[in-house]
Chains A and B, each alone.
Chain A
Amino acid sequence: MAIPRRPLRGAFTVVLPIIALGLIAVVSFAVRPSRDDSPDITTATTGDPVLVYAEFGMNEDQIYLAAPDRLTERSLLATVAHAPGWGINPASQVAGSLVAYTVLPDSSTPERDTPAELWLINIETRNKTRLARDADLLVSPVFVDEGAALVYRRSAGSQQELVRVDLDAQTSLAVHAENTSFGVFPVGVDARGALLFARLSTAGTDLYRVRRGEDAEFVFHISDDIARDFQLSPDGEALSYLAPVYTAERVAFRAHVVAIEEASEQPLAMTADASGEQYGPVWTPSGTGVTVGQEALARDAEPAVVLSTDGSSIEPLPAPARGFDVPLGWSADGRFLAVRSFDGKNSTQPGFESTVIIDSLGERYQVDVPTEVIYIGWYSGV
Chain B
Amino acid sequence: MLIVASAVLMTALLPLTAREANACAFELFRPHAYEADQQRVAYNLAFDSVSSNRLFQGDAFFSLPSIERGTRGSRATGTPFIPAALLKAISWVESDMTMAQRSVPFSSIGEGLVSFDCGHGLMQVTTGMTVPLGANGQPSDRQALIATHYAYNIARGAQILAEKWNAAPEQRPIVGTDTASDPALIENWYYAVWGYNGFTGPGANRSNHPLDPTLDDWPRSAFRCDGSQSRNRYPYQELVWGCMANPAARSGVPLWDAVAATLPDMTDQRTFRAMGLANWRFPYSDMDIETPEPAHLAVAPGLPSTFQTTLLGSPSLRSSSERVTVRLNDPGTSMRATVDIVNTGTGTLTWIAEPSANFLVVTPPGGVATGSGVSCTSAACPNGRLTIEVNPTLLPSSSATGTVTVRSPNGGSGTVVIRVDVIADFEVGGPGTSRAR
Contacts and interface: CB of A to CB of B under 8 A. Distances in A.
A11 B221 contact: no
B285 interface: no
Interface residues of B, number: 58
Interface residues of A, number: 76
B88 to A, nearest CB: 16
A232 to B, nearest CB: 15
B227 interface: yes
A340 interface: yes
Contact of A201 (B119, B215, B277): B277
Interface string A110-123: 11110000000000
Contacts of A71: none
Contact of B221 (A86, A198, A342, A371): A342
A7 B186 CA distance: 24
A153 B213 CA distance: 14
Contacts of B228: 56, 370-372
Given A4-B164, A203-B278, A347 B221 contact: no
Contacts of B346: none
Contact of A182 (B115, B198, B230, B277): B277
B205 A137 contact: yes
Main secondary structure, interface of B, reads loop
Contacts, number: 205
A228 B229 contact: no
29 contacts: A2-B94, A2-B117, A3-B197, A4-B196, A4-B198, A56-B228, A110-B231, A112-B207, A112-B232, A113-B204, A138-B232, A139-B205, A160-B203, A198-B213, A202-B278, A202-B280, A204-B278, A205-B277, A225-B272, A226-B202, A226-B277, A228-B218, A253-B218, A326-B218, A346-B267, A347-B266, A350-B222, A353-B220, A353-B221
A117 to B, nearest CB: 14
A89 B160 CA distance: 31
Contacts of B397: none
B212 interface: yes
B95 A1 contact: yes
B205 A4 contact: no
A70 interface: no
Contacts of B201: 8, 181-182
Contacts of A110: 231
A242 to B, nearest CB: 7
A109 B232 contact: no
Contact of B229 (A3, A56, A205, A253): A56
A362 to B, nearest CB: 25
A1 B94 contact: yes
A2 B115 CA distance: 8
A377 interface: no
A274 to B, nearest CB: 16
A340 B218 CA distance: 10
Contacts of A351: 221
Nearest to A369: B228
B200 A277 contact: no
A250 B213 contact: no
Contact of A249 (B115, B127, B268): B268
B59 interface: no
Contact of A86 (B206, B232, B265): B232
A138 B199 contact: no
B284 to A, nearest CB: 10
Contacts of B268: 249-251
B119 A2 contact: yes
